[in-house]
Amino acid sequence: MSSTVADGGGQGASKDSPFHNTSVAGRATSQKLERRGETDAVEERGPMEDPLCMTTSLGNAREGFLGFASGLVAGIIGVLTGYPLDTLKVKMQVYGSGSRVALLDESTGRNPVRIVRQLFRGVLPPLLSTGLVQTLNFGVYDNTLRYLRVGREEQKRQAGRQSRGLEEREEGPASYHGPNVLPDFFLAGAVGGASISIITCPASLIKIQVQTATSSSVTYWTVLAGMRRKGLVAGYYRAFLPDVLNQMVGRGVYMCTYEALKRLLHPSPPPTLGTVHEPPSRLHHQAQPLYQRILAGALAGVCGWLCIYPLDVVKSRLQADALAPGANRYTTMTDCFRQSYRAGGLRSLYSGLGYTLLRAVPVASVILPCYDATYHVLARHLDE
């Protein structure tokens, strides 16, 4: 009897013996308890103590810089591409489309060097600030997209844990690389736009003051001195509200339209998962022809400007009036809307639209494809 019990409890037990089934069931129960204990231990010590999660966190920190670096490259190229037409746009906005104020000073004559200098007058502030502005804008935009992806997948993971009763430990990194939905791109663009308004507002005021100056005595330093005399709100941050609205709505529409058009022009379904540093929406469009990206960028730029142009006119007029001697012509954003409409009707709120759209096409068709390409190159470098 004792030998039978010993055999049944050992590895040599017969498959027909009831002790064999009991042994198998015992080992299965033990393994399940071990897996449950491992999962509970991970939950108790937190994700940062899990080696897998620590590696993922380091990867997330590194990929968080991709948008910032890509935005810097794209922003500098965009400023140099569109600035001459931006100068013409601002003069049309301030002086009106029917005005005979010379778009180019008579002193330029037909001298090409002087014409180029006139068209690029005031380029220094946006060129210096664009590194910070576009780095911040695209960096916040990209990380907002990632935050929305991770948050959505985390909700799915939590629901999965509850349905499984934590019976299995999940494998794989704790970040989600699935595609974003289109509203994510609008929200991310709006958040990115809002984040740069504190920089774009004073930079825009300096640029507009220099662009619209009728005297060569107006320089960056004289404008800065005038802003300092006016104070923080009336000087540096004149027209801050329309600038914030401009950036949020314009960039939200801009980025959402760009992504929607890329998907429309290249409608093949993206894969379920991306790589460590690139979501499937980006991987999917790597194979997209360049002309489709350029077309999507150009149309996105046009759509973005059409949505906000009257507000941009008001912002330009408020900022051009910021350093006027004595009382300002416009007191508030609403007052500027009202006076502009009374003076020229709806048409006055679209002065310079042609120059703006003409500028938007080359700039947007360069910036966004350049941003995508730079992002892809840097992401591949991180993956290697």
pLDDT digits (tens, 9 = 90+) for 300-338: 999 999 999 999 999 999 999 888 777 788 989 999 999
Q: Which two tokens stand for residue 201?
A: 């507002």
The domain spans of the chain are 65-140+179-383
What is the pLDDT, as a whole number, of residue 116?
A: 79
What is the pLDDT, as a whole number, of residue 213?
A: 81
Contact (CB, 8 A) for 322 and 328: yes
Residues of the chain with pLDDT under 50: 1-13, 18-19, 22, 24, 33, 38-58, 100-101, 167-177, 270-277, 280-281, 283-285
Please give, one letter per residue, the 3-state secondary structure of 5-57.
HHHHHCCCCCCCCHHHHHHHHHHHHHHHHHHHHHHHHHHHHCHHHCHHHHHHH
Q: Which two tokens stand for residue 186?
A: 């609008």
| Cβ burial, residue 224 (10 Å; 0-12/13-18/19+) | middle
Q: Which of 190, 215, 220 is nearest to 202 (CA)?
A: 220
What is the pLDDT, as a whole number, of residue 358?
A: 86
pTM score over 0.85 = no
What is the pLDDT, as a whole number, of residue 173?
A: 41
Contact (CB, 8 A) for 379 and 62: no
Per-residue CA distances from 52 to 5, 143, 171 (Å):
45, 21, 9
Gap between the Cα atoms of 112 and 221, Å rounded? 27
Contact (CB, 8 A) for 357 and 305: yes
Gap between the Cα atoms of 186 and 171, Å rounded? 32
Q: Which two tokens stand for residue 290?
A: 């360049």
Neighbours of 221 (CB within 10 A): 8
| Cβ burial, residue 349 (10 Å; 0-12/13-18/19+) | buried
Contact (CB, 8 A) for 137 and 193: yes
Q: Which two tokens stand for residue 162?
A: 């509850």
Contact (CB, 8 A) for 331 and 337: no
Q: Which of 282, 278, 283, 287 is nearest to 258 (CA)?
A: 282
What does the angle CA 237 – CA 242 – CA 248 come to, to the nearest 5 degrees? 110
For domain 65-140+179-383, the CATH class is: mainly alpha
- List Cβ neighbours of 194 (8 Å cut-off, separation of 6 or more): 244, 247, 248
Chain-centroid distance of CA 45 in Å reads 34
Contact (CB, 8 A) for 185 and 262: no
